Structure 1
């Protein structure tokens, strides 16, 4: 019985690893749950909408769905964004909505075990710790792990605005 319990624990431990899509904003590397990612696209022209926050670049028509496009570099005050061949729009499925998130580049999908995820330090930053899952560590790399559901559904994102639906 003991061997069976140990096998069950090791299967549970193997299944508890999490996959994150890693991307860059400026010099920092971030990660979001791969389960929230619908697709990756190159940056394309967006239709601007009046009276939305600056970080909402506008909307695009994605196969009949109007998708708001959020520039994360503007949102997190990480300098003036530049759009080039490496700029990626990550199409997300969060809180029953489809949202596009503009990032500088996408690296890869990283699998982390719970032991590799450390709690985020409490700092006064533009990204409050409410949106952070923690910090993922792989060898010398460190990923800032974002709870994209909480971030995209926060009141400050303005995505509850019916004009963007």
Structure 2
């Protein structure tokens, strides 16, 4: 779904809902590749605060983003109840560390509403839409804004 476009009037969308603390968020299920149980990521020096580290996922080095920190909240504790949602975006896989996965929701596209324009910085509009379902309002993440972007070129390596 192009979350910058107005919601379409017809059809439905499947969303994976998950928790960050007491808050509920969701992702377009089409971007989800798998859900993995907790294992401690390997930290990398000089990484952004929301980058928890990397995991080896069947031979692929998977960057792990602590979604709570990325969204400006306290970080996920990192205990056996936590999970990684492996998402694909722009040809890359990334693990999103969340407290727990809640449900798979089928939401009519007419129930998706654009969020109000209240972000302090325009480039930090992490919410693409608000899904109103079952008497609750769930935030639909804008993966393009949430996921770290790759640098245009790698920094030079120190001499050996």
TM > 0.5 between the two? yes
| C-alpha displacement of 1:82 | 1.3
The aligned residue for residue 6 of structure 2 is none
* Farther off after superposition, 31-40 or 141-150: 141-150
In the other structure, the counterpart of 1:7 is none
Q: Distance in 2 between matches of 1:160 and 1:81?
A: 24
Higher helix share: 1
* Number of aligned residues: 145
What aligned pairs does 1:94-105 form with structure 2 within 5 A after superposition? 94-105=89-100
2 CA distance for matches of 1:91 and 1:127?
Answer: 26
Residue range with higher mean Cα deviation, 41-50 or 80-89: 80-89
Distance in 2 separating the partners of 1:130 and 1:122: 8
- The residue correspondences of 1:72-151 to structure 2 (distance < 5 A) are 72-124=67-119, 130-151=125-146
Question: TM-score w.r.t. structure 1 length?
Answer: 0.79
Structure 1 gaps, min length 5: 1-11
Are 2:150 and 1:160 aligned? yes
Give the secondary structure class of the aligned counterpart of 1:68: strand
Shift of 1:127: 9.0
Shift of residue 41, structure 1, vs aligned partner = 0.7
Structure 2 unaligned residues grouped into runs of 5+? 1-8, 156-160
- Aligned residue for 1:69, secondary structure, equals strand
> For residues 31-72 of structure 1, what are the alpha-carbon distances to aligned partners after superposition, in whole Å with 9 as ceiling and x for unaligned?
111001110011101111111101101101100100000001
SS state at 1:51 partner:
coil
Comparing 46-55 with 131-140, which one deviates more in the overlay?
131-140
SS in 2 for 1:122: coil
Name the Cα RMSD after superposition. 2.2
In the TM superposition, 1:33-72 aligns within 5 A as 33-72=28-67
